[in-house]
Amino acid sequence: MVNTKVTLSGWTLDNPVIPASGTFNFGKEFAEFYDINILGTFSFKGTTRVGQFGNPTPRIAETPMGMINSVGLQNPGIDAVINKELPDLKKIFNKKVIANISGYAIDDYVYCCNLIDKEDQVGIIEVNVSCPNVHGGGMAFGTDPKNVYEVTKRVKEVTTKPVYIKLSPNVTDIVSIAKAAEDAGADGISMINTLLGMRINLKTGKPIIANTMGGFSGPAIFPVALRMVHQVAKAVNIPIMGQGGVSSAEDVIEMMMAGATAVQVGAANLKNPYACKEIIEALPATMEKYGIKDLNDIIGASFK
């Protein structure tokens, strides 16, 4: 028997596999395909102070080994999430979830985090300071250590649950950003969000995406994500949820060896709705293949 259980800030998960925010909505659609209670947990759709449609269409472009999206922060708003989405989720998911919170100003983050902190269904608050396809917020916070420090500090003042800061890879020094979050009291790091990319329509000569650029995700970014998780894990003393191009049980193990305690799966869910289920089912045999009896033993193996 192998042990797939991991612990994030005192919260024990059956396995480290977590669908990433923006790729799993609030779970209802995927619950039609399989019992989502097999998941470690999942991070729900990025939520803002008020509901919004997101960016104009078209907002998806395919790429070799990945995709570009500029959906933006389309969501029903924090009140609708608390009053409708979470009660609906409770009918199909018996575990706590990760609440992904986004904003356009520090007060937005503080307001939403304060409200969601009161919900028993939430185990961790994931503060997204790294969305690359919104204007006036998102990545604008995540590229400056001072801004990351301030957002983290302010959110921690109004919350009791563990707070994980979701970092952008679109920076020159990811370690300084992560350390700013840790210094401000973050309980963990979530990384990486999407890279910034674009595609051009050869017939028109114009960008395919209405917003010109968007978040590049998929297997192609896995080596970048792995490198950044490795760098940050060596520099901080708080746990990391690693993500970026993960699409197999082997990727999960490799990401954990780089320093992640748990692993989020994003774009793979959009290509194959059974992706997380298949990864979870393959994990025990993959561990045995590499002589791993306990996943906790391999966390940070790349630098220990």
| Catalytically annotated residues | 131
Comparing C-alpha atoms, which of 68, 86, 69, 88 is closest to residue 77? 86
Cα–Cα–Cα angle for 180, 181, 187, nearest 5°?
145
Cis peptide before 192 (omega within 30 of 0): yes
Q: Distance between CA atoms of 127 and 110, rounded to whole angstroms?
A: 10
Tokens of 97: 């979830």
Alpha-carbon distance 304 to 301, whole Å?
5
Give the pairing of strands 214-217 and 66-69.
antiparallel
* Largest separation between any pair of C-alpha atoms in the chain: 57
256 to each of 14, 130, 233, how far by Cα in Å?
15, 22, 10
Query: Which amino acid type is present at position 257?
Result: M
Query: Among candidates 78, 168, 179, which has minimal Cα distance to 130?
Result: 168
